[in-house]
Structure 1
Amino acid sequence: MVNMTTQDTEDAIARKRPTELSPGAVVAQSLDNEWVNAQLTKEMIEKGTSLRDVEKIRGKEARAEYFRSLLNTRQVVVNRVFFYNNRAVSCDLVEGGAARRAHQKLLGDGSLVPYLVNEHQPAERPPNMTVDEQAFTAWQETVEGMPASSRITCVRMSWEDQENRDATRNGLFNPFAGQVQRLTATDIPLLAAQVGVPPERTAQFGARLHELVGFSSDRRTRGELVSRRVLYDEFVSVPGLPASDVRYDRNKPFAGEVKQLLDLIYNVNLADALGMYPLTPSGGLRRIALQEWRDVRTAPSGVVTDPEQLLLFLRRQAFSTVQDRLTPSAVDTLTLEDIWTLRQSEPWHEYMRAFDALTADPAAFHDRVGRVFDRYVRLNSEIVRVAAGRRASRAKAGKWAPVIEVVVIVGGAVFSAITGDDTWGVVGDVGAVSAKAGGSVQLVLRNRREGRREQKFAREIAAVRFDSAREWEQFHSMVRRLPGYREQSGSRAATSSATVQDDIPEY
């Protein structure tokens, strides 16, 4: 291992606060070393299997989401623990050679940004945490072996220790506990339906949430912090197991549903605290499940308050004919070196410029989304070219029907418009809607013939706020008049459609 002096390490770090990062920076939930999709969680509970047992299956999906986030955004903020406790990330560090060098390049240009809770250096061992020792050693070697000309961009809430402790408690721990405690203030039948609880078990699910909230409240009353790990041990996991061997306890009622909610709260809470976009994995629980329209929030993007302006997002868009009909059938069969190469290409830079222009002015959606679509298609062609150029490439190309999906969430209602490849349609799923309704506009770029690990992307591009029932009714009336609109009542599962001592304790 390369030995560096304290001064060497200090000089190798670019210290940033959240506001100093890229406006399009994201936090990817799939890089959470505890992330498991809902279906796999259910299977793990039924069979009593551990995270280690399902590592191959889970790792493929996490790896694909990892690569997608790097292909579709300028900057990905990663809780420093995930660099060595998530094998989808750490495998490149452990492998060494070209894979580790590619990781170092992404660290060196600020594409990957470690989020430090209370550490001053990214390679510090976090206190009171179990780590994958082989991967942690590889992470330390990666950091210490950075080229002399490179600096790793790291972010903390503040680089002044006391201010950081206060900001972390107030920006992470307290909001996390607060969101957990608000679960029983939600529409329980709606929430139950969204996480897949059968109607006949809704009452038991509501009672379990009351136990969760009561436990959280008791800890806060005693002045103890409420963390995801504490709640996991009580309501989800078999306690006392190392992170890599975690099992979800079949004897704990609704362990899977509670886990999905805690994971969603944990990851969007970190993104909110850092003022960034949360990336929810494809098929993951949507943020709408938290029913935040009851507490309208701000967003790093613009805020839409006019019903007519909001309607523009759902209207049919016209795109140029797509000539290239291929897409890599599995993004994770690329290498991290491929991802680095793609991020240096002109098609990638053009795609980023088009997306930046759109998110900077969501009101110009109709004029700018076509350029995003065009640049997305060009980037996909470059992905196919890079994959095909590798000797003995395993990244096979499949048929592609690229489409844009716009998802508008207002209160408890979800409207989804799909356009592209001669496809057009708008579907409304109307649930509970409050008089003061908040929500968001999400842009999804994907293959209509969807594969779970293909190149696709979803990101919130604007927040929504209606201040009266009249505005909601006006918007709903206009949407109903869109050609081809169809509506269904009730609620489908709220999963994506394509789609973070005297030291601070671990978040």
Structure 2
Amino acid sequence: MAPELPGPDGLVRVDNRDLSRISVVAQCLDNQWVTRDLLDHMLVRRLSYEDVERRRRQDARAEYLRSLLNAEQVIVNRAYFFNNPVVYQDFVDRGPQRDAFRALLDESVLVPFLLRERSPADEPRFTVDQVGWSAWRDLLGDLDAIRCLRLSWDDTENDECTQRLMFEEFHRFLLQLRGFNLDALRRDLGLDEADIPLLKQRLRDVTLWAADTDRADRESFYRTFLVEPGTQPAQGRFRSAPLVAELKQIIDLRYNTTVPDAVERYALIPTDSLRRTALQERPPVRTRRTAEDGVPRQDLLQVLDLLRTLRPQAFDLAQSPLRIDLTGLDLRHVRQARDTDEWRGYLTALEALLDDPTDFVARGQAVYDRYLALARRLAEIVGERRRSHMRIWQPVIRITVEVLGASASLIYDGDPRLEVLGDVATEVAARGAEAVVRFAVVGRDQRRAGNELATGIDVMRVRLERAREEWEELVRRMREGGFPVTDGHVDRDSEPNIDRPREDE
């Protein structure tokens, strides 16, 4: 498709078909985002956003620069350009930073997202930061053209898409929380088993509220469950109540994935934030297929085909360790780094991984290696010798099938093998059960099934009619595949890596 030419107002109207492949929406620009560590600190000390504003801005700035370094294109809600100082600090004054920002707009690295507006210069219907708004209007006046994204440029269709793909999806998520796998969610949230009853009750409360309220949006959720009565959500004065932090994290995560999902691109989730696995995005339960002789068939190719649909999760898993210290860097340094062979090599490796997430071990390592090279090149641009906090990463991919407490895992980490833990009990041998197929990518010291589940993604649920019989058939067929078999209790090496550094470091 030929690129659309700018209109008389300089606006180039684009939709998701015109976006680069590695386009992201950065959660760090959300005015409610704080790291998990800072949120815990706020709750313990009874602090508001204003009390921790300096730290919030530092964290958001580092993640914002990281998004521009790690992605080909960054989609930014129009309001953030003038209401978030993390963004507008680069163009409020004339100089090299403003020139770099303008260039990123010209190059479509930064793409404003318009919800219902038809122009980036439309007068906002909400409270604005006057410093940022004045600077934004001044910047727009200097641009010959600007590319802006909407779900549709037909107003009626845009309203329908916004309602269906964003508002209704968020509402549907609230209605589904009651049915979440509590043990998996507990692990993602870092809770203890003793917290499960209360977690179950809180999710039930949210679901009942969402079913009964006329306005199930995030602001209403904050008022009902999170912030002190009589205060504004934007103030960040949270209640002293159990699971407030956990509810905030999961709701914020879903809220910030609606736009990237709607435009079929990626959410760039900040470090020290709840990962996308907590959303428990999974396909429906599938029935077992049988061969002509009536024997249930385990088709691993079917599993692998399904994994290829997991690009959003694979992207998040790949990005989580790609972080370097960006202290002291500014926008022009990041823009210079994007114009290097090292950056292009990293982007090519990331695209290759997303082409086939099932080859995560080799392709994920290639992404990581290229990113290390990019980090070294960035240090040269800044003109400092910077010691990276990144260490050698040794990713391990696991495909695990779990049935009634028993599990069988195919492990790929240079020495592929089958690991079997437990067995289906005799007393439930003839009963039906649900088998869960899980995909996970972890560090080398987390290969044990009990350690890696917090980062796993449930990708398929299969109904077994005779649990033990079909479980034994599955394990037998896996063993026939020629993989060395372990019982899951052998010692693992303890080489240091990004997930666990040396004791003396």
Provide the TM-score with structure 1 as the length reference: 0.71
1:134 Cα offset (Å): 2.1
Q: Which residue of 1 aligns with 2:155?
A: 161
Name whichever of 203-212 and 158-167 sits farther off: 203-212
**Gaps spanning 5+ residues in structure 1: where?**
1-7, 298-303, 313-326, 445-459, 489-495, 499-507
- Whole-Å Cα distance in 2 between the matches of residues 114 and 354 of structure 1? 27
1:401 Cα offset (Å): 2.6
- Whole-Å Cα distance in 2 between the matches of residues 311 and 18 of structure 1? 23
Within the candidate set 257, 275, 278, 1:286 is matched to 275
> SS state of the match for residue 94, structure 1?
coil
Q: Flag the 1:435–1:332 CA change in 2: closer, same or farther, 3 A.
A: farther
1:24–1:75 CA contact under 8 A, matched in 2: yes
Q: Flag the 1:386–1:27 CA change in 2: closer, same or farther, 3 A.
A: same
- Whole-Å Cα distance in 1 between the matches of residues 482 and 86 of structure 2? 42
1:377–1:402 CA contact under 8 A, matched in 2: no
1:270 Cα offset (Å): 2.3
Q: Flag the 1:144–1:386 CA change in 2: closer, same or farther, 3 A.
A: same
Name whichever of 188-197 and 276-285 sits farther off: 188-197
1:17 Cα offset (Å): 1.2
Q: Flag the 1:348–1:417 CA change in 2: closer, same or farther, 3 A.
A: farther
Within the candidate set 81, 97, 111, 2:79 is matched to 81
1:58 Cα offset (Å): 2.1
Q: Which residue of 1 aligns with 2:202?
A: 208
1:296–1:437 CA contact under 8 A, matched in 2: no
1:294–1:436 CA contact under 8 A, matched in 2: no
- Whole-Å Cα distance in 1 between the matches of residues 421 and 117 of structure 2? 45
| CA offsets 1:281-314 (integer angstroms, 9 cap, x no match) | 11211222222236489xxxxxx954578999xx
- Whole-Å Cα distance in 2 between the matches of residues 338 and 58 of structure 1? 22
- Whole-Å Cα distance in 2 between the matches of residues 428 and 65 of structure 1? 40
**Amino acid corresponding to residue 42 of structure 2 in structure 1:** M
> SS state of the match for residue 89, structure 2?
helix
Q: Which residue of 2 aligns with 1:233?
A: 223
1:259-270 → structure 2 map (5 Å cutoff): 259-270=248-259
Q: Flag the 1:399–1:158 CA change in 2: closer, same or farther, 3 A.
A: closer
Q: Flag the 1:164–1:307 CA change in 2: closer, same or farther, 3 A.
A: closer
Q: Flag the 1:467–1:425 CA change in 2: closer, same or farther, 3 A.
A: closer
- Whole-Å Cα distance in 2 between the matches of residues 235 and 424 of structure 1? 47
Larger Rg: 2
Name whichever of 336-345 and 73-82 sits farther off: 73-82
Q: Which residue of 2 aligns with 1:145?
A: 142
1:91 Cα offset (Å): 2.3
Asked if 1:256 is matched to 2:237, the reply is no
1:435–1:467 CA contact under 8 A, matched in 2: yes
1:386 Cα offset (Å): 0.8
1:263 Cα offset (Å): 0.6
Within the candidate set 351, 358, 373, 1:356 is matched to 351
1:258 Cα offset (Å): 1.1
1:236-385 → structure 2 map (5 Å cutoff): 236-238=226-228, 245-250=235-240, 252-293=241-282, 295=284, 306=302, 330-362=325-357, 371-385=366-380
Q: Which residue of 2 aligns with 1:117?
A: 115
1:27–1:277 CA contact under 8 A, matched in 2: yes
Asked if 1:135 is matched to 2:114, the reply is no
1:115–1:155 CA contact under 8 A, matched in 2: yes
**Amino acid corresponding to residue 264 of structure 2 in structure 1:** G
Larger RCO: 1 or 2 (CA < 8 Å, sep 6+): 1
RMSD across aligned positions (CA): 4.5
- Whole-Å Cα distance in 1 between the matches of residues 94 and 229 of structure 2? 34
Asked if 1:33 is matched to 2:34, the reply is no
2:361–2:395 CA contact under 8 A, matched in 1: no
**Gaps spanning 5+ residues in structure 2: where?**
1-5, 287-299, 309-321, 423-432, 444-454, 465-469, 492-497, 501-505
Q: Which residue of 1 aligns with 2:450?
A: none
> SS state of the match for residue 92, structure 2?
helix
- Whole-Å Cα distance in 1 between the matches of residues 131 and 142 of structure 2? 16
> SS state of the match for residue 53, structure 1?
helix
1:34 Cα offset (Å): 1.0
Asked if 1:185 is matched to 2:179, the reply is yes
1:363 Cα offset (Å): 5.8
| CA offsets 1:322-348 (integer angstroms, 9 cap, x no match) | xxxxx9962142100111111122221
2:419–2:485 CA contact under 8 A, matched in 1: no
- Whole-Å Cα distance in 1 between the matches of residues 327 and 274 of structure 2? 22
- Whole-Å Cα distance in 1 between the matches of residues 417 and 378 of structure 2? 29
1:162 Cα offset (Å): 0.8
How many residue pairs get matched?
432
- Whole-Å Cα distance in 1 between the matches of residues 110 and 285 of structure 2? 31
Within the candidate set 35, 43, 53, 1:55 is matched to 53
Asked if 1:70 is matched to 2:106, the reply is no
1:275 Cα offset (Å): 0.7
| CA offsets 1:389-432 (integer angstroms, 9 cap, x no match) | xxxx6x84346534253566879999999989xx99999999xx
1:89 Cα offset (Å): 2.2
- Whole-Å Cα distance in 2 between the matches of residues 428 and 245 of structure 1? 50
| CA offsets 1:7-50 (integer angstroms, 9 cap, x no match) | x9853222111222112211222221211122211221222222
Name whichever of 208-217 and 232-241 sits farther off: 232-241
- Whole-Å Cα distance in 2 between the matches of residues 428 and 383 of structure 1? 45
Q: Flag the 1:309–1:371 CA change in 2: closer, same or farther, 3 A.
A: same
Q: Flag the 1:180–1:89 CA change in 2: closer, same or farther, 3 A.
A: same
| CA offsets 1:59-111 (integer angstroms, 9 cap, x no match) | 22222222222112111112222223333223223354222221111111111
- Whole-Å Cα distance in 1 between the matches of residues 347 and 341 of structure 2? 10
Name whichever of 359-368 and 55-64 sits farther off: 359-368
Asked if 1:94 is matched to 2:95, the reply is no
Provide the TM-score with structure 2 as the length reference: 0.71
**Amino acid corresponding to residue 196 of structure 1 in structure 2:** G
Q: Flag the 1:465–1:93 CA change in 2: closer, same or farther, 3 A.
A: farther
2:24–2:73 CA contact under 8 A, matched in 1: yes
Name whichever of 172-181 and 92-101 sits farther off: 92-101
- Whole-Å Cα distance in 2 between the matches of residues 114 and 426 of structure 1? 48
1:437-456 → structure 2 map (5 Å cutoff): 437=436
1:241 Cα offset (Å): 5.2
- Whole-Å Cα distance in 1 between the matches of residues 97 and 395 of structure 2? 34
Q: Which residue of 1 aligns with 2:212?
A: 218
- Whole-Å Cα distance in 2 between the matches of residues 237 and 429 of structure 1? 44
- Whole-Å Cα distance in 2 between the matches of residues 348 and 143 of structure 1? 29
1:410–1:440 CA contact under 8 A, matched in 2: yes
1:205–1:254 CA contact under 8 A, matched in 2: yes
- Whole-Å Cα distance in 2 between the matches of residues 227 and 26 of structure 1? 23
- Whole-Å Cα distance in 2 between the matches of residues 228 and 480 of structure 1? 48
- Whole-Å Cα distance in 2 between the matches of residues 161 and 479 of structure 1? 58
- Identity within the alignment, %: 30
